[in-house]
Amino acid sequence: MPITTCVFDAYGTLFDVAAAARQAASEPGFEKLQQKWPELANHWRLKQLQYTWLRAITDAHSDFWDVTQDGLDWALDATGLEGDPTLRQRLLDLYWELQAYPEVPQMLTALKEGGLNTAILSNGSPPMLDGAVQSAGIGGVLDDVLSVESVGAFKPHSSVYDLVQQRFDCARDEVLFVSSNGWDAAGASGYGFVTAWVNRADEPMDRLPWTPAHVLSDLTTIPQLAGV
């Protein structure tokens, strides 16, 4: 069936999750971060994801903002930057203003002009996602922003992917689901979506029962994949 709906993961897919650490490292007063920000950004993102999985399998769901703060605290400790409350607060503040990747506005505009539904499906809490969408200025080219908080489970739980069909009344194979997380793209593929993995870091394929239909280096060709 033709694609009618394009759905995107948010963090790392539309929004650059390293932007907060990179921006803070360029600001006065945070000189200790200048050499360590890539390491901190990587630790922060990995722990953020790991904590969602651990909370999911132990039935200890928590708001994604709590998980994000916990991940940052671990990353600060791991990089020897703990104990600076001003740095911690600045990094958290910047996470609400993450930059979108350069190709995102034009790509979403092309999808909307082509008549497709567009949405975010994210682990992020509604306030976090609203902050990122408004900061990036892409609200006008999104039909909806769907958060896992409405089902109380993190991806890749099937109840999260169910939100897309409930919102757009579409068949699974009408959905192009796009994520920068290989495990997320794989999980959505197993669910029945057509999937694209945005592999910006050129990582190996995850060893899982399912694989994404497409592997891309960025989002530029999404409109072509969607048939517009």
**Active-site residue list:** 9
Residues 124 and 192: their CA atoms lie apart, in Å, by 23
Residues 182 and 180: their CA atoms lie apart, in Å, by 6
Give the three-class secondary structure for 46. helix
Residues 108 and 55: their CA atoms lie apart, in Å, by 32
Read off φ and ψ for residue 176, nearest 5 degrees.
-100, 110
Token digits of residue 107: 């790509």
Residue 34's nearest CA partner among 21, 25, 43 is: 25
Residues 82 and 2: their CA atoms lie apart, in Å, by 50
